């Protein structure tokens, strides 16, 4: 794909003209053919190896980082460790005056036994397949942009870390600390979640918190001595109703599941409530956290049961602050130079951009391909957007270097 718009310098045109869309598409087809669901450790390992080989084309250190420990509450109330895949990290010119962070994820939402395993052309230029947009296509965009930037005389000014994790689709629990570590000292960050089909980017994002509340009561015979029992299931249901009542402007609460119960003639002594919170601000997150604890205490006292909460707000809300607004403005200006109309709007979804923003780093987190129907068997990639979005990223990075930042 070539660009000859008058608003580009000759040097910029030379850099952008190195981007090869057919090569990018081949990468997407190769990577998407491997199932890399968040729980498929073998598929993730194969994908990580291929990505490490591809990113070795950059002039930096490529390494695979072991996941941090994470755990989860099982249906019986026990807390077990969960295995996650390794994360890919690439470090280029760590001592350069301009330091950037680029992130993506290799995992998809499709488990190893899903029927959705193949690629299909829906029409010319529209490819259907698992992870083609979210985000094997985004990874191809990131790599192509960086390879193009390396051909520029400005490359010597630009240092960057790339992080491609294996657990974004399940909350990035094993990579959150790594993201925070790599974000430290960066001027800006780009994340390669897919844009909407028309190219619209995600602006502000709400946060997300997932909790499991373990309720322990006392069993008894439902007919002989029910008064001696303490019904954990009823307590969990009461808590679910009280939490749902917290829903208001700026906060969505979704009690999603109750595990537990027993035979009809036994007062159940065990239940687990699974609940998700979606706060739109840090203030609302703090409110939700305090109310969760308060209501747990109330239910424990009124039902004479014990409650233990497990979980966290793993994705803090992501507002558009001054730095983020400047970065969005730069991306918009670069889009205009390429003949692209760039706009953005708020979304209720969450991603690693939330975590990066919480570190105080300006981030645009939908720099990936144009596509849609993600997390479904209808997921699609608009293939013309591969080179288009790679050019947008490359130009953004070059102009950050020219300005020495935002």
Provide the token pair at 15.
């850099």
**365 near 351, Cβ under 8 Å?**
yes
Q: Which two tokens stand for residue 51?
A: 């990505």
Nearest in space to 64 (alpha carbons), one of 150, 162, 183 = 162
For the whole model, what pTM was predicted? 0.95
Asked if residues 160 and 146 have their Cβ atoms less than 8 Å apart, the reply is: yes
Paired sense of beta strands 363-364 and 188-191, if any? parallel
pLDDT category at 348 given cuts 50, 70, 90 is confident
Rounded CA separation 376/337 (Å)? 34
Question: What's the pLDDT band for 1 if we cut at 50, 70, 90?
Answer: very low
Q: What percent of the chain has pLDDT over 70?
A: 99
Contacts 24+ apart (CB under 8 A), 307-311: 307/213, 307/214, 307/215, 307/216, 307/235, 307/239, 308/213, 308/214, 308/216, 309/211, 309/212, 309/213, 309/214, 310/73, 310/79, 310/211, 310/212, 310/213, 310/214, 311/209, 311/210, 311/211, 311/212
Tell me if residue 43 falls in helix, strand or coil: helix
DSSP bridge partners of 72: 80
Percent of the chain with pLDDT over 90: 98
Tens digit of each residue's pLDDT (9 = 90 or more) over 298-309: 999 999 999 999
Cα separation, 35 vs 53, in Å, equals 18
Phi, psi of 202 (to 5 degrees): -80, 130
Indicate if the pLDDT at residue 39 is higher than 50. yes
pLDDT at residue 277 in the model: 98
Across the range 357-382, mean pLDDT stands at 98
* Token pair of 5 as six digits: 């718009």
């Amino acid at each position: 794909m070539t660009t000859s718009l008058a608003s580009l310098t000759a040097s910029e045109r030379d850099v952008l003209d190195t981007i090869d869309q057919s090569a990018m598409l081949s990468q997407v087809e190769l990577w998407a053919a491997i199932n890399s669901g968040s729980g498929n450790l073998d598929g993730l390992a194969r994908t990580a190896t291929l990505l490490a080989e591809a990113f070795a084309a950059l002039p930096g250190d490529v390494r695979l980082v072991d996941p941090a420990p994470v755990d989860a509450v099982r249906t019986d109330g026990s807390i077990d460790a969960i295995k996650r895949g390794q994360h890919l990290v690439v470090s280029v010119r760590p001592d350069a005056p301009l330091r950037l962070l680029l992130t993506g994820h290799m995992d998809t939402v499709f488990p190893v036994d899903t029927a959705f395993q193949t690629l299909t052309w829906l029409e010319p230029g529209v490819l259907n397949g698992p992870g083609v947009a979210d985000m094997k296509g985004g990874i191809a965009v990131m790599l192509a942009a960086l390879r193009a930037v390396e051909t520029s005389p400005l490359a010597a000014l630009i240092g960057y870390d790339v992080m491609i994790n294996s657990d974004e689709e399940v909350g990035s629990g094993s990579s959150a600390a790594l993201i925070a570590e790599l974000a430290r000292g960066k001027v800006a960050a780009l994340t390669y979640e897919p844009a909407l089909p028309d190219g619209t980017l995600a602006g502000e994002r709400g946060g997300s918190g997932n909790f499991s509340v373990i309720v322990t009561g006392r069993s008894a015979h439902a007919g002989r001595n029910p008064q001696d029992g303490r019904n954990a299931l009823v307590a969990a249901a009461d808590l679910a109703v009280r939490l749902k009542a917290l829903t208001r402007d700026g906060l969505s609460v979704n009690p999603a599941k109750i595990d537990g119960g027993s035979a009809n003639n036994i007062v159940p002594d065990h239940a687990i409530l699974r609940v998700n919170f979606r706060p739109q601000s840090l203030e609302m997150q703090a409110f939700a956290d305090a109310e969760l604890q308060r209501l747990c205490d109330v239910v424990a006292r009124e039902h004479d049961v014990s409650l233990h909460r497990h979980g966290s707000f793993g994705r803090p809300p992501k507002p558009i602050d001054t730095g983020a607004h400047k970065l969005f403005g730069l991306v918009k200006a670069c889009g205009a130079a390429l003949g692209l109309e760039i706009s953005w709007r708020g979304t209720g979804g969450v991603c690693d951009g939330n975590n990066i923003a919480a570190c105080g780093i300006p981030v645009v987190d939908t720099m990936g391909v144009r596509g849609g129907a993600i997390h479904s068997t209808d997921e699609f990639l608009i293939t013309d957007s591969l080179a288009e979005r790679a050019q947008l990223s490359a130009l953004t990075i070059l102009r950050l270097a020219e300005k020495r930042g935002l």
